[in-house]
Amino acid sequence: MALNLLMLGPPGAGKGTQAERVSRARQTPRISTGDILREAVHAGTEIGRRAKAIMHRGELVGDDVMIGIVQERLERGDASNGFVLEGFPRTVAQASALDRIMTERDPLIVVDIVVPEAELVRRLGTRLICSQCGTNAPIAVSAEVACAKCGGRLVQRADDNQAVVLERLKVYHQMSEPLVEYYRVRPTFRSIDGAQTPDRVAADLVAAIEAAGNGAVRHGARG
């Protein structure tokens, strides 16, 4: 059975770090809509210019744009045998669209990373991003350290100042938390504690994936 993994959680929960670890371990492509959008912003494309103003206000890019980006990415050959998806869906409408995209695929395993809001604010207020390629630096990395991907200088993200952080979390609670309720009833849904060390979270994630996969087999789940 292919690993089709969807990672949920608020900004700062560590989805990107954990998605990268699973992607490397399972040799499965990591698909991050956040990275796709930031690359477009950095490149100055039309969609990048549209997304830039929205992202800097702490708001979310519209469903139609995000659904199109994800569908195109999942149709590429490297995702035919599984993927690790993070940053999408962010609304129930996007989740419904993803279900349609997944109709003929193996079950979607959904893992929600839970972190207290106070810890999220602390993490986001100190998070850094590469000024050259736009890649997020791991949490707690110093600004003196160069980007691991391209060697560029690390700076604070424009959308990580305190006012915007609080707005982003507010938007998440209003729009994205219903996703947990949307997926919770599925045998392939699991929730893990993201306020632990990255290694502990990674171990819990592996266990959750295995348990969810067994649940899918028992229930004959698809999509």
Q: Which of 30, 90, 123, 186 is catalytic?
A: 90
Q: 192: which strand partners?
A: 113
The Cα–Cα gap between 106 and 4 comes to: 7
The Cα–Cα gap between 208 and 188 comes to: 9
Active site residue 38: no
Residue with tokens 């699973």: 22
Active site residue 50: no
The Cα–Cα gap between 172 and 11 comes to: 8
Token reading at 188 = 């392939």
Q: Which of 211, 217, 206, 214 lies closest to 84, judged by CA?
A: 206
Q: Which of 30, 52, 127, 190 is catalytic?
A: 127
Q: Which of 15, 30, 52, 73 is catalytic?
A: 15
Q: Which of 21, 30, 52, 157 is catalytic?
A: 157
The total number of residues shown for the chain amounts to: 223
Active site residue 168: yes
Active site residue 149: no
Active site residue 123: no
Residue with tokens 């998070």: 127
The Cα–Cα gap between 127 and 155 comes to: 8
What number of other Cβ atoms are within 10 A of residue 12's Cβ?
A: 26
Catalytic residues: 15, 90, 127, 157, 168
